């Protein structure tokens, strides 16, 4: 990961470990030739910097899908709420200005396409085989299932399905992401690659 981009990623708000980020960078770089890299849940752009910088190294494209109103854990009164991303006029979160600024600082404006909508809505119009899909959206079971069902079929053969926030021990975190990871394994359509901390990585057969 180039040091200038790494600096932007480290300074960005978000919930992604450095080792996980470095792995996202490598995966995007190594699979962007197969099709666009798609990120479900961008928040302020921390993971977008790793994925976008990887995509750029391969001459590829990153698509950042997010409605920018925050997931269930980002809402006011919840554990991961950040008052700085709350827009009082809208009475809702709005992380889009933060993402846009992150993309600018990381010099990714020619690499990243921002899709400002629900992931299901984006999936309805998405017809291109994706080189990689990174699922890091809502963490309720229904949100995770919907993202899995909408987006895992878009991954091209040889491409990557990555899922963030896997917690094998339920006392350490919610089970929705690891449940969809297990669904993907059980489907028989994917080969498991080594997990990096809470980042699950699967390759479509």
136-155 footprint of Mg ion as x/- string (CB under 5 A): x-------------------
- Cβ atoms 28, 55 nearer than 8 A: yes
Report the nearest approach of Mg ion to the CB of residue 7 (Å): 21
- Cβ atoms 1, 46 nearer than 8 A: no
Cα 14 to Cα 51, 81, 195, distances in angstroms = 14, 11, 20
Site size toward Mg ion, by CB under 5 A: 3
Comparison of 21 and 36: residue with beta carbon closer to Mg ion: 21
* E-state strands within the chain: 37-40, 62-65, 86-87, 92-93, 112-115, 130-135, 155-163, 190-196, 199-204
Beta bridge partners of 163: 135, 200
Q: What is the largest CA-CA distance in the chain?
A: 48
Residue nearest to Mg ion (CB): 164
Based on the shown chain and the rule CB under 5 A, indicate whether residue 39 belongs to the binding site for Mg ion: no
31 is catalytic: no
Report the nearest approach of Mg ion to the CB of residue 165 (Å): 4
Comparison of 73 and 107: residue with beta carbon closer to Mg ion: 73
Closest to 1 in 3D by CA, of 64, 16, 158, 15: 16
Beta bridge partners of 86: 93
Task: Choose one: 2-10, 58-66, 131-139, 185-193; the region binding Mg ion (CB under 5 A).
Answer: 131-139
Output phi, psi for 190, to 5 deg: -130, 150
Comparison of 47 and 61: residue with beta carbon closer to Mg ion: 47
Comparison of 57 and 202: residue with beta carbon closer to Mg ion: 202
Report the nearest approach of Mg ion to the CB of residue 105 (Å): 21
Comparison of 6 and 176: residue with beta carbon closer to Mg ion: 176
Element spanning 154, H or E: none
Report the nearest approach of Mg ion to the CB of residue 169 (Å): 17
> Site for Mg ion (CB under 5 A): which residue of 159, 165, 180, 196?
165
Report the nearest approach of Mg ion to the CB of residue 164 (Å): 4
Cα–Cα dist 151/184, whole Å: 11
Based on the shown chain and the rule CB under 5 A, indicate whether residue 46 belongs to the binding site for Mg ion: no
Based on the shown chain and the rule CB under 5 A, indicate whether residue 164 belongs to the binding site for Mg ion: yes
Interface residues with Mg ion (CB under 5 A) are 136, 164-165
Catalytic residue numbers?
139
């Amino acid at each position: 990961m180039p040091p200038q981009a790494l600096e932007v990623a480290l300074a960005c708000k978000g919930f992604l470990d450095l080792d996980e980020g470095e792995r996202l960078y490598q995966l995007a770089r190594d699979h962007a030739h197969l099709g666009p890299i798609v990120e479900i849940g961008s928040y302020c752009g921390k993971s977008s910097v790793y994925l976008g910088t990887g995509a750029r190294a391969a001459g590829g494209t990153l698509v950042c899908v997010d409605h920018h109103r925050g997931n269930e854990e980002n809402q006011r009164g919840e554990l991961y709420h950040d008052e700085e991303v709350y827009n009082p006029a809208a009475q809702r979160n709005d992380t889009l200005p933060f993402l846009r600024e992150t993309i600018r600082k990381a010099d990714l404006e020619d690499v990243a396409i921002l899709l400002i909508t629900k992931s299901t809505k984006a999936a309805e119009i998405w017809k291109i085989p994706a080189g990689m899909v990174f699922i890091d959206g809502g963490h309720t079971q229904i949100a995770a299932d919907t993202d899995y069902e909408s987006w895992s079929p878009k991954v091209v053969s040889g491409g990557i399905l990555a899922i963030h926030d896997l917690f094998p021990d339920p006392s350490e975190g919610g089970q929705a992401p690891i449940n969809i990871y297990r669904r993907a394994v059980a489907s028989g359509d994917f080969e498991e690659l080594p997990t990096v901390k809470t980042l699950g990585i699967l390759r479509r057969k």
